[in-house]
Amino acid sequence: MTNKTASPWWHHFDSLEHQQETTTFGMWVFLATEVLIFGAIFTGYTVYRSTYTPSFEAASDRLNLLIGAVNTVVLLTSSLTMALAVHAAKLGQTRKVFFRLVLTAVLGLVFLGLKALEYYGDYRDELVPGLAFDPAQWTAPKVHAGQVQLFLVFYYCLTGLHAVHLTIGIIIVAILAWMTRRAAFNSRYYAPVEIWGLYWHFVDLIWIFLLPLLYLIGTRDRWL
Amino acid sequence: MSIDKALDRKDSGSRYYAVYGVLIILTIATVGLSFCDLHAWHTIVGLAIATGKGALVALFFMHRLHSARITWLALFAGLFWLAILLGLTLTDYLTRAWLIY
């Protein structure tokens, strides 16, 4: 075990399983801290949402549900391709791992592209506090322009932080695809694909909760 | 001890497609329900469906069912601290009736 090239695991682990369990556990611990980053914003959101309910529902109704829903499907599909990439990695099917990782990264880019389109639409609809916002649009009873802007700030913080995570994920998945090409993994050693798969699914999981909390909080009568 | 006993065998990964199908159906359901008049129930229904989808992602895509048991510790620690964060904050704010404008 002193000869590093002869052993598929690092010298301070007893076995390959020990090493894999440790790296997986490490990623889960990191994801637990991520729960708290998003959890803090979710908590602030919940407090204001319960206090300014009519304004939050009115503002949510103006978001682009069509892009929100399509992006949900795009991200779920990317999670499927990621899960299939990890599955192929376990079986040592390098070519499949490569193509599925590339597909995952491309779907992530599609999500970001649609999100950019949505942000531009929000800008055109004057839904960006401080940059393009028209208080005169918000005259319904119990709806206040200040509270609407608060909802929109939560919307940009949550979707923005999510987009940052997704961008990091895309870069890492692209690096993993390149490493797969360079034959860095085999059916015994594929821990990086496995743990970054966990990260990718976590980013998907956050979006699963963002959809109802941002887009679906009142009764809708239109998509856009 | 094997990390993924069930995955060591040759298998096609067909359960991932099945889970994906259920996730898409639940997404269509949650978006469709937002057009129905559920009054104050939209958030409850939306979060219930999201929790179901999240559980499917965690159990199958994230291999929760087959991973080493110690990883449950990290998962529950994360959820436990989230419960403290949400629970203790809301017991304060939701009982301040004078703050409702």
* Residue of B46, B78, B99 with shortest CB distance to A31: B78
> Are residues B61 and A36, on separate chains, in Cβ contact within 8 Å?
no
Nearest-Cα distance to chain B for A3, in Å, is 24
| Residues B18-63 pLDDT 10s | 999 999 999 999 999 999 988 888 989 999 999 999 999 999 999 8
- Residue spans of alpha helices (H) in A52-128: 53-61, 65-90, 94-124
Say what the pTM is: 0.91
For tokens 């990883």, the residue is: B71
Nearest CB neighbour to B68, from listed A25, A40, A213: A25
- Identify all chain A residues contacting B78, using CB atoms and an 8 Å cutoff: 31-36
Q: Is the pLDDT of residue A31 over 70?
A: yes
Q: ipTM score of the complex?
A: 0.90
Å between A177 CA and nearest CA of chain B: 19
> Which DSSP letter does residue B66 get?
T
pLDDT of B87 > 90? The answer is: yes
Q: Which residues of B touch A52 (CB under 8 A)?
A: 101
Residue B2 has pLDDT above 80, yes or no: no
The residue assigned the tokens 């096609």 is B12
Q: What is the pLDDT of residues A95-138, one digit of tens each?
A: 999 999 999 999 999 999 999 999 999 999 999 999 999 999 89
Instruction: Among A11-15, A38-42, B69-73, name the most confident range.
Output: A38-42
Q: What is the mean pLDDT of chain A?
A: 92
Number of H helices, E strands in chain B: 4, 0
pLDDT in tens, A158-214: 999 999 999 999 999 999 999 999 999 988 889 999 999 999 999 999 999 999 999
Q: Could B81 and A35 be called an inter-chain contact, meaning their C-beta atoms sit closer than 8 Å? A: yes
pLDDT of residue A121: 96
Q: Give which of A16, A81, A61 is closest to A151, Cα–Cα.
A: A61
By the 10 Å C-beta count (0-12 exposed, 13-18 middle, 19+ buried), A97 is classed as: buried
